[in-house]
Amino acid sequence: MDAGDGSTDALRSFSKTSVLFVSISFIILMVISLAWLVFYYVQRFRYAHAKDRLQRRLFNAARKALMRIPTRCLKVGDPELDVDCAVCIDPYQAGDVVRTLPCR
């Protein structure tokens, strides 16, 4: 009977060791997965905000550049009234506000 009790104790000890090993392995895997998810979402958050900042900066630069182009109001008798708009292909009319693009 002593031999049977010894083998049962060895199986219980082996079973406890196996459960402990599997549990620790699972916890380590979960910690690594959680760390990867945190890293992924932090990178995604940083990329999204960098993209938004760049878009705002480009929008402001375009607005500044557009505001630097001089505008004027067309009057009756201006030579530009005889030509069409290059963008919408409509003829200019008196009172239209147009931007004069610089020629280089």
First to last CA, the chain: 106
| Residues 48, 13 share a domain | yes
pLDDT tens, residue by residue, 35-45 = 999 999 999 99
| Residues 55, 79 share a domain | no
| Residues 62, 75 share a domain | no
| Residues 60, 21 share a domain | yes
| Domain that residue 96 falls in | 70-104
Q: Hey, is 61 helix, strand or coil?
A: helix
Tally of structural domains, the chain: 2
- Reading phi first (left if > 0) and then psi (alpha if -120 to 50, else beta), residue 33 is in alpha
| Residues 80, 30 share a domain | no
Count CA atoms within 13 Å of residue 2 on its CB side.
0
- Please report which confidence band the pLDDT of residue 24 belongs to, taking 50, 70 and 90 as the band edges: very high
| Residues 91, 55 share a domain | no
pLDDT tens, residue by residue, 38-86 = 999 999 999 999 999 999 999 999 999 999 999 989 898 888 778 888 8
Q: Are 75 and 93 in contact (CB under 8 A)?
A: no
